[in-house]
Each structure stands twice: as C-alpha cells, then as structure tokens.
C-alpha cells in the first residue's frame, strides 16, 4: 500500500525539481532586458533606402492606393509606371488625374472602376499625381 503512494510522490518531487529555479529565470529575464542592444549593422542596406521620400509617395503609402496599384505591375488598376508613361507631366494632366483620384471612375484603363477618395484633399491628390508622374522619369 505504501508503494502505491510512493510513486506519485517521487514523480511529483522530480517534476517540481525539474521546474525549479523560477526565481533565477525571472532574474535572468530582468538582466537581459536591461542590457543595451548592439547598434544595427546597416552595411548591407542599399543607398536608395536613404533617399528622401516625397510628400506624394508618403501620402500614397498612408492611403489604400497600393491595394490596387503597384509601381511595376498591374494588379486591379494599372501599374504606376504605366500611368506615368501614358500621361505627360503637365499641369492639365495633374489636375485631371487629381480629380480622378478624388471622384473615381472607369473607362480609361478598362471596365474596373476606381473607387472615389473624397477624403483626400485636392492638394494632396496633386502631390500623389506628381509622385506617380515622376516614376516615369526614374
């Protein structure tokens, strides 16, 4: 009868002994978080990562534009480089494309309609267009 209770007792003691040292683990976790991490090695980063980002590029990154438009590839809408190739960088085209961003529409690139973006101001839409048209100059 004693052996019946002895085995679970021994197993419990072994289990707790194996899981012991919880205080040391907590101390180690605290000591790890207080150490300063080494500086990041940016030697493999391309210099283009340091180029300044235009206001239009930043606005597009914060918007939903990249859902349907990629720079080099047609997704739902045309590629940005294709837009830049189709439209010359003129004030008239800047105005026309800014209105297209705000009002949306279809027909220029096929049947799929671009959703309107009435929350984007005219000035911000023009900045986005300037960025898109600059892609053709790269």
Report the distance separating Cα 131 and Cα 90, nearest Å. 13
Query: Whole-prediction pTM value?
Result: 0.61
Q: What does the pLDDT look like over 79-113, one tens digit per residue? A: 999 999 999 999 999 999 999 999 998 888 888 88
Residue 85 CB neighbours (<10 A): 13
Question: What number is the average pLDDT over the span 46-52?
Answer: 57
Distances (CA, A) of 11 to 3, 75, 80, 114: 12, 61, 67, 67
CA distance 90 to 49: 29
Domain architecture of the chain: domains with CATH = 2-27 (no CATH), 53-135 (1.10.760.10)
Average per-residue pLDDT for the chain: 78
Residue 47 has a pLDDT of 47
* 60 carries a ligand binding annotation: no
Q: Is 73 annotated as a binding residue?
A: no
Return d(Cα 22, Cα 25) in angstroms, integer: 5
Cα-flanking dihedrals φ and ψ of residue 112, to 5°?
-70, 125
Q: Is 117 annotated as a binding residue?
A: no
Q: Is residue 36's pLDDT more than 70?
A: no
Q: What is the rounded distance in angstroms from the CA atom of residue 31 to the CA atom of residue 46?
A: 35
Half-sphere exposure of 8 (CA within 13 A, CB side): 4
């Amino acid at each position: 009868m004693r052996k019946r209770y002895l085995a679970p007792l021994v197993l419990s003691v072994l289990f707790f002994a194996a899981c012991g040292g919880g205080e040391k683990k907590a101390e180690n976790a605290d000591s790890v978080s207080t150490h300063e991490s080494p500086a990041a090695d940016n030697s493999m980063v391309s210099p283009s990562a340091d180029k300044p980002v235009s206001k239009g590029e930043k606005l597009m990154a914060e918007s939903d534009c990249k859902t349907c438009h990629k720079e080099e590839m047609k997704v739902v809408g045309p590629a940005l480089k294709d837009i830049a190739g189709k439209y010359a960088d003129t004030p008239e085209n800047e105005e026309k494309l800014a209105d297209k961003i705000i009002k949306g529409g279809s027909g220029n690139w096929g049947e799929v309609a671009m959703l309107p973006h009435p929350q984007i101001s005219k000035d911000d839409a023009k900045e986005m267009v300037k960025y898109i048209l600059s892609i053709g100059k790269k």
